Structure 1
Amino acid sequence: MPLLVGKTLSLAITATAGSGFLLFGYDQGVMSGLLTGDAFVRTFPEIDTTEGGHGNSSLQGTVGVAFGAEQSLESREGDYGMSYVSNESQFRFPLALQILFAIVTFLGVLVLPESPRWLIAHDRHTEARQVLWSVQPNARLITPDDPAINLEITSISRTVAEERQATEAGSFKMLLQDGPQRIRHRTLLAMGGQMMQQLSGVNLITYYNTVIFEQSVGMSHNLALLMAGFNGVAYFVSTFVPVWVIDRLGRRKLMLFAAGGQCACMAILAGTVYDGGHAAGIVATVMLFLFNFFFGVGLLAVPWLLPAEYAPLATRTHTAALATATNWIFTFLVVEITPVSISNIGYRTYIYFAVFNFCFLPLIFFFYPETRNLTLEQIDRLFTGEKVRLHWDTSMGVAGDTEHRLQEKTGDAEVQHVE
């Protein structure tokens, strides 16, 4: 019996993936506070854009994207505490701390099993059966030969065979073709989710919120650092919301909720920063907090789910690679133009981000299928019919839950032991 089974294994997988994701976004979380720190601007005067500095804002954006990652999940209180340190450890220690998350991720990967779908695709059915059994919540009460496991093995094996037939080329060229699997369509949706995530303006808010608090809202440096820390805490808390609602409300509703809320926040920010008064500054501060709430609930995690959920197994790695590349291309774009934009057109920066978020609403509503509670094999069926279905239809069978599907399959010859 494996060391970890059932909920314990699921928690271990979640913790390892979460640690990797935290590592991915850690830099951006700390960099917003470090950019205006005394030790940082003294060491890198070429990108000092604080008041009295003579750094190049365009260069700051270029260097910033090298440090910054996609999202921030950290409480940035470390920046505030380290701001009282006068030497270079003020910024070197917060950056070095991320090694901890890399170690956790590395150790987790060493002990966790391969995906059962990957194992089946490589003709390792016995191992796949063992893994499928081990991740069941009631694993200790059933055996690897349980009918529920047989159903999953049969379903995955059939899908893998269909995907092999449709994608024999096995290269990035497959992503440019549609065919019965609609691979190009699915790849573009995955890339579009990553594009929307970055064009929402999240890097404007999280990466430069300390600068915004100081330059746009008019706070002192220490107060701006403290508020950025509180903003990071609120952001972190908001990321727990989709854990409870993503499979209750669905991906589409969360994305629409986020895009609408972010649009409103950016529009109000434009007006308050334009006004420049004390009361307007308070409203602007509230909008910065609200933006991170909307983003954390809807556009933080979902775009990372879409490449894995939309893409068929044969192209999943390629699709994920293109989606991630899209994320970084638009991360670079936003972080490159943000300091220049704030320096030259001020409050108008928020206007075009408001327009971007508004445009996301029809894109999500008309083009993104809902994958709530569906297995990967069932998601394939959304894309492989006469037309792309935005929702699972009851005429297609019972969605998701293996036990319910098994009840429909009782006596069906399709449920068999596959080795």
Structure 2
Amino acid sequence: MMTGEELKPRKAPGHGQETLEVPVVTWYKDPSLRSLYLRLPILMLCATTNGYDGSLLNGLQTMETWQNYFGNPTGSTIGLFTAIVNIGGFCALFFSPYVADFCGRRLATAIGCVILLVGVIIQAVPTVDRGMFIGGRFLVGFGSNISIGAAPLLIMELAYPQHRGRLTTLYNTLWYVGSIIAAWTVYGTIKYTGNTSWRLPVALQALMPFIQLLGVFTLPESPRWLCSKDRGSEALETLAKYHGNGDPNSMFVQAEFAEIQQTINMEKEMGSHGWLVFFKTRGNRKRLLLIVLTSFFSQCSGNGLVSYYLHDILSSVGITDPTDQSLFNGGLQIWSFLVAVIFSVFLVDRLGRKPLFMIAGVGMLVIFSIWTGCSAVYAQTGNNGAGKAVLAMIFLFYGVAGFAWPGLTVSYSSEILPYNIRAKGLALCLGITALSGVLNQYVNPIGLANIAWKFYFVYIVILVIEVICIWFIFVETKGPTLEELAYLFDGEEAHVGGKEFANEKVLEVNHMESVS
């Protein structure tokens, strides 16, 4: 495929350092990439599992059998049922980066799947009570974030540079596939008699992690992780197989390997890999700020109202029938998935990350403001037209949100980080996302119960702040390889290896001694 190609240098955005031009490849015409990419959905099931749970409790709350079994939970109790998954996800923050960096991306994904499966089994057993159900949901959140702390990293670190943006953005849009399955499973079982109606959707959550366990070890390990463990020969073999169509002498493969190997060695020489490294340089502080903002906005832009309290939102505008609510939820998830895939995945490398964030931010602000106004009219007059307008605004809101959230949440937070802190940075992203979710899940029902539609003004203020932050703080990352993105944050002090290959058309493969 890429044997004997001529590599031309290009300038790193904003700094002028010469970096390698990545040869353009059509993935489905390349046997090795085709084989790799057809297996990557195994890793993307982490997002699907997460999305399933995000929609599951919404559906369970519409079921009288589930309500009766658990004593019609309300207020803080239903808040705990909802929030405990995110509490478990936050607790995983203290373990997931070490598991991903020590065990490797594949094994870490598998470990998370096992924990998640245990959590599902506890919730589905015939003798389950409130405490067991809450404990099982804690394990679901914990295990899920152990897997999510590794799987998207493996996708990003295996992807051919040209396809990184689309693949990593596609990863988290598959959250909606899980939410679609959950919504329509609940819709299909809502008329069942007995506890089977809710046990079946709960038990089905085990399907995705089970498939992952069967398939994750058919994928190669991350070349970057292999280099970090001084297993350079295996890393070069992986890169040659999937980025060079089996040719280890491919000029591009040799240059890519040199850039990865030397960059990781330079990062090792820096010494500090602890959590405080996020505060030690201006570039890392900027990265940390972007992770915090991205994670917070992904949960607290008004979307949390629908994600976990759709039942209350629909009831507030007169949609009270459980079947109608389930049907609306199922349709909303399909719409959200289609918009996210069509716009965020296919436009991420055409428009770039920052424009997509801006489209989402401005669009959500405008539509949420209209949503608030229509809710006010319905609450004060009972006007059916205003109630139907709220339903339309929910669909439009998720439409514009699909340009960036959730597709870019994980991918953007991961790609801005150098290898030595990538797993920790992703763990921070997931931890802050979980905490933001907990905040949503405890504050939203209180706000909705006490001031109803007036509570929406809180999110209008947040959306205004969000748009300002995206415009002035967010950094465009379209184009460079993972290693070269360091130039955007660290400038001349960026630790990026392989510079000699940007100026040489004939490669001097003098690093092979260290590999052997």
TM over 0.5: yes
Judging changes above 3 Å, is the alpha-carbon distance between structure 1 residues 267 and 27 closer, same or farther for their aligned structure 2 residues?
Answer: same
Q: Identify the match of residue 18 of structure 1 among 33, 44, 54.
A: 44
What is the aligned length? 387
What's the counterpart of residue 411 of structure 1?
505
1:162 counterpart = 2:266: yes
d(CA) in 1 for partners of 2:213, 2:330:
28
1:250 counterpart = 2:268: no
Over the residues paired in the alignment, what is the CA RMSD in angstroms?
2.5
Equivalent pair of 1:273/1:281 in contact (CA under 8 Å) = yes
What's the counterpart of residue 63 of structure 1?
81
Percent of aligned pairs with the same amino acid: 25
- Kindly provide the amino acid, as one letter, of the partner of residue 350 in structure 2: R
Equivalent pair of 1:151/1:416 in contact (CA under 8 Å) = no
What's the counterpart of residue 399 of structure 1?
none
Q: Identify the match of residue 434 of structure 2 among 328, 342, 348.
A: 328
Q: CA deviation at 1:414?
A: 6.3
Equivalent pair of 1:210/1:225 in contact (CA under 8 Å) = no
- Kindly provide the amino acid, as one letter, of the partner of residue 286 in structure 2: H
- Kindly provide the amino acid, as one letter, of the partner of residue 9 in structure 1: L
Equivalent pair of 2:176/2:334 in contact (CA under 8 Å) = no
Equivalent pair of 2:358/2:471 in contact (CA under 8 Å) = yes
1:270 counterpart = 2:377: no
The secondary structure found in structure 2 opposite 1:170 is coil
Q: CA deviation at 1:46?
A: 4.7
Q: CA deviation at 1:416?
A: 5.6
* Alignment of structure 1 residues 184-203 onto 2, 5 Å: 184-203=285-304
1:126 counterpart = 2:239: no
Q: CA deviation at 1:111?
A: 1.7
Equivalent pair of 2:251/2:507 in contact (CA under 8 Å) = no
Equivalent pair of 2:295/2:429 in contact (CA under 8 Å) = yes
Q: CA deviation at 1:325?
A: 0.8
Q: Identify the match of residue 324 of structure 2 among 211, 218, 223.
A: 223
- Kindly provide the amino acid, as one letter, of the partner of residue 46 in structure 2: G
d(CA) in 2 for partners of 1:88, 1:268:
40
Deviations 1:213-263 (A, max 9, x none): 222344433212211111111112222122211111111111111111111
Equivalent pair of 1:270/1:349 in contact (CA under 8 Å) = no
Equivalent pair of 1:154/1:416 in contact (CA under 8 Å) = no
d(CA) in 2 for partners of 1:193, 1:124:
34
Equivalent pair of 2:61/2:67 in contact (CA under 8 Å) = yes
d(CA) in 2 for partners of 1:329, 1:408:
43
1:104 counterpart = 2:211: yes
What's the counterpart of residue 134 of structure 2?
none
1:211 counterpart = 2:316: no
What's the counterpart of residue 55 of structure 2?
29
Equivalent pair of 1:28/1:72 in contact (CA under 8 Å) = no
TM-score normalised over the length of structure 2: 0.70
Q: CA deviation at 1:127?
A: 0.8
* Alignment of structure 1 residues 288-327 onto 2, 5 Å: 288-327=394-433
Equivalent pair of 1:272/1:284 in contact (CA under 8 Å) = yes
What's the counterpart of residue 338 of structure 1?
444
Judging changes above 3 Å, is the alpha-carbon distance between structure 1 residues 329 and 58 closer, same or farther for their aligned structure 2 residues?
Answer: same
The secondary structure found in structure 2 opposite 1:311 is coil
What's the counterpart of residue 5 of structure 1?
32
Give unmatched runs, 5+ long, in structure 1.
Answer: 48-54, 389-395, 397-401
What's the counterpart of residue 393 of structure 1?
none
Deviations 1:369-404 (A, max 9, x none): 11113211110111111699xxxxxxx9xxxxx9xx
What's the counterpart of residue 390 of structure 2?
284
What's the counterpart of residue 392 of structure 1?
none
Equivalent pair of 2:413/2:425 in contact (CA under 8 Å) = yes
- Kindly provide the amino acid, as one letter, of the partner of residue 411 in structure 1: K
The secondary structure found in structure 2 opposite 1:114 is coil
- Kindly provide the amino acid, as one letter, of the partner of residue 264 in structure 2: V
Q: CA deviation at 1:72?
A: 4.4
Equivalent pair of 1:145/1:417 in contact (CA under 8 Å) = no
The secondary structure found in structure 1 opposite 2:491 is coil
Equivalent pair of 2:255/2:501 in contact (CA under 8 Å) = no
Equivalent pair of 2:501/2:507 in contact (CA under 8 Å) = no
d(CA) in 2 for partners of 1:414, 1:249:
37
Equivalent pair of 1:217/1:273 in contact (CA under 8 Å) = no
Give unmatched runs, 5+ long, in structure 2.
Answer: 1-30, 87-140, 142-171
Deviations 1:176-235 (A, max 9, x none): 3226xx223212212221111011122211222233122234443321221111111111
d(CA) in 2 for partners of 1:149, 1:172:
32
Q: CA deviation at 1:145?
A: 1.6
Equivalent pair of 1:20/1:102 in contact (CA under 8 Å) = yes
Deviations 1:102-133 (A, max 9, x none): 01222232221111111112221111111112
d(CA) in 2 for partners of 1:191, 1:205:
22
Q: Identify the match of residue 147 of structure 1 among 242, 251, 254.
A: 251
The secondary structure found in structure 2 opposite 1:81 is helix
Judging changes above 3 Å, is the alpha-carbon distance between structure 1 residues 107 and 316 closer, same or farther for their aligned structure 2 residues?
Answer: same
Equivalent pair of 1:61/1:338 in contact (CA under 8 Å) = no
Judging changes above 3 Å, is the alpha-carbon distance between structure 1 residues 82 and 308 closer, same or farther for their aligned structure 2 residues?
Answer: same
